[in-house]
């Protein structure tokens, strides 16, 4: 799931997944962090989910995916669109 908050000239995007799906560590990777799996690991929240927040330029489009343990790549079904390989996010 994607949560958005508009800021002055930027959009704060929070990438949210259930705590245990998939099991193990998960990171959000995309063109906004040079596809670096250590840049935005999802952290546990008190509501049974885990999340990572990224501030992106307003009115921009970005590709992203999730990377879980065991080199397991997967998409967010709540992405704004998909390009065949990656989820797409429109701020």
- Which of 43, 71, 54 lies closest to 63, judged by CA? 54
pLDDT band at residue 73 under the 50/70/90 scheme: very high
> Domain 2-90 has what CATH class?
mainly beta
Residues 6+ apart with CB under 8 A from 21: none
Check: CB of residue 37 under 8 Å from CB of residue 25: no
Res. 66: pLDDT tops 90: yes
Q: Give pTM, 2 decimals.
A: 0.92
pLDDT band at 50 (very low <50, low <70, confident <90, very high): very high
């Amino acid at each position: 799931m994607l949560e958005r908050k508009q800021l002055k000239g930027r959009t704060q995007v929070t990438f949210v997944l259930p705590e245990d799906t998939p099991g193990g560590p998960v990171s959000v990777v995309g063109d906004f962090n040079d596809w670096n799996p250590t840049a935005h690991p999802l952290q546990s929240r008190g509501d049974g989910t885990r999340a990572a927040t990224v501030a992106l330029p307003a009115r921009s489009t970005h590709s992203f995916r999730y990377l879980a343990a065991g080199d397991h790549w997967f998409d967010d079904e709540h992405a704004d669109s998909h390009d065949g390989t990656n989820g797409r996010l429109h701020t």
